[in-house]
Amino acid sequence: MPSDKKINVIMFNMSSYSDWARRGVVNRNWQILQQLLVNEKINKIIAVDFLPHTFKRGLRVLKEDLLTNNLSGQVNRLFLGQTTKISDKLVIYSTILSLFSVKKLYQQIANLAKSFFNQEDFIIWSFYPLAVNYFDQLEPTLKVFDAVDNWSEHPSLIRFKNRLLDNYKIIDQKADIIFTVSNELENLFAHKEKIHWVPNGVDLKHFQKDFPLINRDIGHIPHPIIGYIGTIQERFDVDLVEYLAISNPEKSLVLVGPVWQKEIKDQLAKFKNVYFLGRKSYEASPMYIHQFEVGIIPHKIDKFIKSTNPMKIYDYLACGKPVVSTQSLGLPEFLDFVAVTTDYQKFQDAIVEALRSDSDALRRQRIALVKEHSWLKRSERMLEIIFQKL
């Protein structure tokens, strides 16, 4: 392929664009999309919103995306769907057609591709394993799959486990390139020659912002603050956090993020030094992390967690914070900067040591470390692999 050739991309998203744009929810998919939008090697992108796999999800798409479109762009209504042209480079395709006719769904996408790409070739770049018909229904020049965690082990998708396992086999057979966020994910695929481990990254500039004003909900909380940011759900080890609350009566445990399990909040409600601050946008997250003295990741280690590569470790380090976690990133250069243990007492000891030994010099070292793990470098590596294959 000529070195100056630009590529078109149909991207199958693991989220809806409105989640990113309106609710400030950010994941690897969003970060990669942002990098592609400013990369001169990318011509145009059609981003296919998370395809609803249940009628409940379809009703959400209908309500939040099709009937109430708050995106800034030119809207074109389609049968059971619509496109929103965000820019000359990006079109968002939202639909519930996947619930009724797979054939018509891909006819719509193919027609959109012909029009927006002006009959030019395109590649598929998918983050979405719940349906993999795109490999057969479309005609890309290259098929790329980005394995972000093992969805077959996700607690909220357990009733789709067999479908997902079957789909991972199809991906293994039909994808030309498979990116994985962790080494553990390689076990899902037999064709090892297709696999490229590209861990998550960080937008260092975003986390180095100055915030002259601190939000009241965290501004009044006594220091030192042991902080967590992220969704509080099944993977959250509430017993470990309870242990930390008991062991640190003079310290504050601040939990930033939506609570998906009421039982977690109920179990910790009796502790005056535990604070639930709710969901915060990606834009606001640096301000909260900068108020932490220590960033923690108290996750239960199971098959799903082993397949993940937590972005919050990079985010904590980008703010210069010491990190204590039950899981590692699998990157040896992080071993000196992230304390990893599943033992409750050792976890507590690591927090005490982090508070005791922290310094300006260590904060600078943490920031310098993650500078080498930017989303820009991750995306450039991925595009290098793609262009070599093309």
Do the domains spanning 7-201+374-389 and 204-371 agree at the CATH topology level? yes
Q: What is the pLDDT of residues 154-176, one digit of tens each?
A: 989 999 999 999 999 999 999 99
The residue ranges of every structural domain in the chain are: 7-201+374-389, 204-371
Residues 39, 125: Cα–Cα separation, whole Å: 15
Answer yes or no: is pLDDT of 248 > 70.
yes
SS3 of the chain: CCCCCCEEEEEECCCCHHHHHHHCCCCHHHHHHHHHHCCCCEEEEEEECCCCCCHHHHHHHHHHHHCCCCCCCEEEEECCEEEEECCCCEEEEEECHHHCCHHHHHHHHHHHHHHHCCCCCCEEEECCCCCCCHHHHCCCCEEEEEECCCHHHCHHHHHHHHHHHHHHHHHHHHCCEEEECCHHHHHHCCCHHHEEECCCCECHHHHCCCCCCCCHHHHCCCCCEEEEECCECCCECHHHHHHHHHHCCCCEEEEEECECCHHHHHHHCCCCCEEEEECCCCCCHHHHHCCCCEEEECECCCHHHHCCCCHHHHHHHHCCCCEEECCCCCCHHHCCCEEECCCHHHHHHHHHHHHHHCCHHHHHHHHHHHHCCEHHHHHHHHHHHHHHHC
Q: What is the pLDDT of residues 55-101, one digit of tens each?
A: 999 999 999 899 887 788 899 999 999 999 999 999 999 999 999 99
Q: What is the pTM of this model?
A: 0.94
Domain 204-371: state its class: alpha beta
Answer yes or no: is pLDDT of 2 > 80.
no
- Note the pLDDT of residue 68: 82
- Note the pLDDT of residue 1: 52
Lowest pLDDT segment from 35-39, 206-210, 271-275, 292-296: 206-210
CATH topology of domain 7-201+374-389: Rossmann fold (3.40.50)
Answer yes or no: is pLDDT of 212 > 60.
yes
